[in-house]
Amino acid sequence: MAGHRPRIVVIGAGIIGSAITYNLAIRGADVLLVDEGPRPGSGVTGRAFGWVNVINGTPGESSYKLWREAVSEYRHLKAALPAAFSRVRSGSLFWRATAQETEQFAGLRKSAGENVDLLRRNGIQELEPRLRRIPDLAVLSHDDLALDSAKLAGDLVDAAVVAGASTRFGATVSAIDTMNGRVARIRLGDDAMAADVVVMAAGAGVRALAERLGLRTGLTTSPALLLRYACSRPIISHILRGPRLEIRQASDNTLIVAKSYVENGNENRPWLIGEDTLTVMKDELDLPDEVVLKSAEIGDRPVFADGLPRLGFFPEMGGLYVAAGHPGVILAPLLGRLTAEELLDGQRSELLGPSL
C-alpha cells in the first residue's frame, strides 16, 4: 500500500536496542520498544564497564575498522544529544608490563592513525597524582570515553519517545507469531501486537528467541565481572589500564573495575574477587580508607565466534532481524544508524560484511 509505514518492534532495551529505537524514531518510523526489565539498560548493559575506545582493538583485524567507525559515530551522537554526554569523561592511560612493550604499543597505535601520545613518568604523575606505581611510559588515548551505559540507553529511549516511539517495559515476549513464512505479531502475555518487522536486540536472550522459531544464531556468551566501590572523593581522572588493573571513576565518585570471569560454581566468588581486587587497588592507588566494595555483578556478553556483531535479516524468516554482538557499548550508536538505514532504505553497509 502506498504510504504504508511498517510496524517495527524492537525486543531488548539494552544499549543496542535503545540506539536502534532512537535511530528509527528520529526518522519517523512506527516503532515499539519492548523489554522485560523495568527500564532501559537494566540487563547486561547496566553491567558494562562503559569504555568507548579503539585502543583495545587490533589494527588489521576485521573488527578494527568497525570499531573506528563506531567511535566516530559517538561524535555525531554527542552533537545530537549533548545533554546525554554532560558527565562523560574522556581519555585513557594504558601501559604494558615493560616500557619497551608500551613504546611498541604506542608506535602501533600511531601508525594506525589513532590520537595517542606517549607519556613519561612526569607527565603521567601530573595527570594522575594518586598513582602509587607510576610506570616509566604510558599511552594517553585522547578520544576514549567513559560513560554510564545504562544512563545512555535511557537517554536514547527518552529521545526516541519524544520523536514518536512507544515503549513497553516489564513485558516478556512469550511468542513471535508467523504467517506464510513472515513474522506477523508478537505476544506479550495475553496481548498480541501486530508487527511487520521484529528486531531481536535482546543480547544473550536473542538465542532463546530464535530457537523458539527453530532458528540458530551461533551466539554464545562470555561472562565478565563488574565491580563497584563506594568512594567519597575524586581519585582518578582517566580510565586506567595496566597489567594488574582496569579502573575508572564515575561522576558520583564510584570506582568501577572490569575483570574477565570464569565461573566455577562458587556463588560467593565474584564478591571474593572484588575484595582481592581492592587490595590491588590500594597497592596501585592512594585510596581513602573508606573505599569499600558495594557490588560485584556478572554480565553475560553476547559474542560470536569471529568476534563480529550480527546485524541483518534471517534468510529463513521474512521480517525477522537480529542485532547483537560485543562490544555493544562501543558499537551501539553505529549499529543503531545502520539498522535504521537497512530497515527503512534497504541499504546495507559494507562495514557489516555478509548478513546471517
Q: Report the pLDDT value the prediction gives residue 91, as an integer from 0 to 100.
A: 97
Of 4-8, 105-109, 239-243, 257-261, least confident by mean pLDDT is 4-8
Please give the average per-residue pLDDT across 254-275, as a whole number. Answer: 90
Residue range 281-318, pLDDT digits in tens: 999 999 999 999 999 999 999 999 988 999 999 999 99
- Domain ranges (residues) in the chain: 7-49+150-219+305-352, 89-146+221-303
Is the dihedral angle over the CA atoms 320, 80, 40, 45 positive or is it negative? positive
What is the average pLDDT score of the chain? 95
Flag whether pLDDT at 265 surpasses 80: no
* CATH 3.50.50.60 is right for the domain spanning 7-49+150-219+305-352: yes
Flag whether pLDDT at 266 surpasses 60: yes
Q: How confident is the model at residue 353 (pLDDT cuts 50, 70, 90)?
A: low
Domain covering 89-146+221-303, topology: D-Amino Acid Oxidase; Chain A, domain 2 (3.30.9)
Cβ partners under 8 Å of residue 15, min gap 6 = 41, 45, 48, 149, 152, 153, 156, 328, 329, 332
Flag whether pLDDT at 352 surpasses 90: no
Flag whether pLDDT at 218 surpasses 50: yes
Flag whether pLDDT at 3 surpasses 70: no
The answer to whether 7-49+150-219+305-352 and 89-146+221-303 have equal CATH topology is no
Residue range 10-50, pLDDT digits in tens: 999 999 999 999 999 999 999 999 999 999 999 999 999 99
